Amino acid sequence: MLPRSQSFSWNYICVDPGHGGIDDGCTGRIYGLKEKNVNLGVGVWLYSYLGYYYWWPIMTRYEDIDTDGPHRANTNKKFVTFLKIIKFDVGQ
């Protein structure tokens, strides 16, 4: 894990689990996994991991809700220097 920067603003990282709410993304053929659930699971794990190493992660969603594009864009512009968007294609 990279050490935190001394600069306060650099320590914010936005974790954006893609899809959510009525947007399922892809659905797996064998197990029926929905992409939105996989994205959220990985996002929550990444949030916890970064917090453990004293970063200040910001999530665009913590549960299965639909977050619109403007909300995500505003969150990303206001608070973070680095953004991680999580998307998987579980249907392939």
Q: What angle do CA 65, 73, 25 make, to 5 degrees?
A: 40
pTM of the model: 0.73
Q: Look up the CATH superfamily of 12-86.
A: Zn-dependent exopeptidases (3.40.630.40)
Asked if residue 3 has pLDDT above 60, the reply is no
What three-state secondary structure class fits 34?
A: strand
In this structure, the number of other CB atoms found within 10 A of the CB of residue 39 comes to 22
pLDDT in tens, 31-61: 888 988 988 999 999 999 988 877 888 888 8
